[in-house]
Amino acid sequence: MNGKGRRVVVTGLGAVCATGANVDEFWANGIAATCGTQTRTIRANDGTQITTPVAQVDGFAERAASLGRDIGRADAFSKFAAAAADEAVADSGIDFDNGLGGRTATIIGTGIGGQSSLEDGYINMLSLDKRPHPLTILRLIPNAAASHLSIRFGLRGPAFAISSACASGAHSIGVAADLIRAGTSDAAIAGASEAIITKGALQAWKAMHILSDELCRPFSKNRKGLIIGEGAGILVLEEYEHARARGAKIYAEIVGFGMNSDGKDMINPAVEGAADAMRMALGGVQVPSAENIYINAHGTGTLMNDPTETKAIRSVFGADADDLVVSSTKAMHGHLLGAAGGVESIMAIKAIQSDIVPPTINYDVPDPECDLDIVPNEARNRRVDLAISNSFAFGGLNAVVAFGRV
């Protein structure tokens, strides 16, 4: 939350998803308007399959094999988290020795956890009459990624998972920042990971009738729904004076965090809840001119979300909403569900660092109900002093992280 306390900055970034094996590739493809969606046939271990558009990570097997024995035996969501965390820690140059490891939190969100391990285990038992793998429980529990990372880096501070559907990543980053701000921790590895491109999970999502059968088109009138993605986005957070004392590269400051619940409906988002979460994130923040504000929208490309989010943004910013820029990068990297807030926070931070706003791709038909400047189809050069990452989840859960230039 906002208020008095220590300043929290971002000093390391790590990502893996359909549009990038690392942050540099992810960002380059983001400003190049690269679409990571492809129609794939996903097979279960009983031979059944489903064919549908997804944003799947390619070529990860060799990298996963290099992560080490413990991670090698883990579920894919823990492997994605480890790969992204390795990059973030190396990027930050942080040293967890000399007592810092005991003061570093590890908070890794996930919407589902070890989906492939869960699915494989049940198919083995119920369809193939086989015993489940002896590590099935350790693979599928939602805290597996957080625990693996705390062990991997020798971190003895608070370590846990936050599982709040599509708000998991933003909740994890915001809560980690609050721990540092309050003095409970001095640093944190925070973000989220998701790996649910499995036959069973995709069938379940199809049953909701909110998946697109071709592309994700956020804010476009002809939008048909979301595209499921996978991967991880991890940040290294530090108390500002600690980062400055060691000469760390500082990407941005976490200047605000807001979280709440609509308290109304499991599926239908509420304008008031989303707007109030944004107001909470901006409370106490010195808000710059609207021309220097970028919002990385939740922007799922579903019929209900996009106009609701538009109304929420207009409720918060009033007439200034016409002057700020908004984009949904889910059209490129897919909807990473719990991990969305992790990778999208990196997009927001990189926008501040580079003064380039990533686009909303696949946009082709204006919608009067989504009448913001959504940076259609091409990245835009523009100074960004404040970047807001919105994450809104099933169950009416809202989490908003605000990043500022240092």
- Max CA-CA distance within the chain? 63
For residue 210, the Cα-to-chain-centroid distance in whole angstroms is 19
Q: Give, as one character, the DSSP assignment of residue 211.
A: B
Give me 23's structure tokens. 């942050």
Give the whole-angstrom CA distance, residue 235 versus residue 173.
Answer: 8
133 in active site: no
Give the whole-angstrom CA distance, residue 390 versus residue 376.
Answer: 18
335 in active site: yes
166 in active site: yes
Instruction: Considering the candidates 148, 298, 333, 370, report the single residue annotated as catalytic.
Output: 298
Q: Give, as one character, the DSSP assignment of residue 374.
A: -
Give the whole-angstrom CA distance, residue 18 versus residue 333.
Answer: 6
Query: Count of residues for the chain?
Result: 406
Q: Are 346 and 190 in contact (CB under 8 A)?
A: no
Give me 70's structure tokens. 């413990």
Give the whole-angstrom CA distance, residue 297 versus residue 103.
Answer: 33
- Classify each residue of 62-83 as buried b or exposed e, where b means 16 or more C-beta atoms within 10 Å of its C-beta: ebbeebeeebeebbbbbbbbbb
For residue 217, the Cα-to-chain-centroid distance in whole angstroms is 19
Instruction: Considering the candidates 148, 171, 242, 335, report the single residue annotated as catalytic.
Output: 335
Nearest to 251 by CA among 1, 6, 7, 13: 13
Give the whole-angstrom CA distance, residue 107 versus residue 139.
Answer: 17
Give me 169's structure tokens. 């990543």
Q: Are 382 and 357 in contact (CB under 8 A)?
A: yes
The SS3 call for residue 321 is: helix
Instruction: Considering the candidates 17, 35, 148, 166, report the single residue annotated as catalytic.
Output: 166
Question: Letter for the amino acid at 60?
Answer: F
The SS3 call for residue 304 is: coil
Active site residues: 166, 298, 335
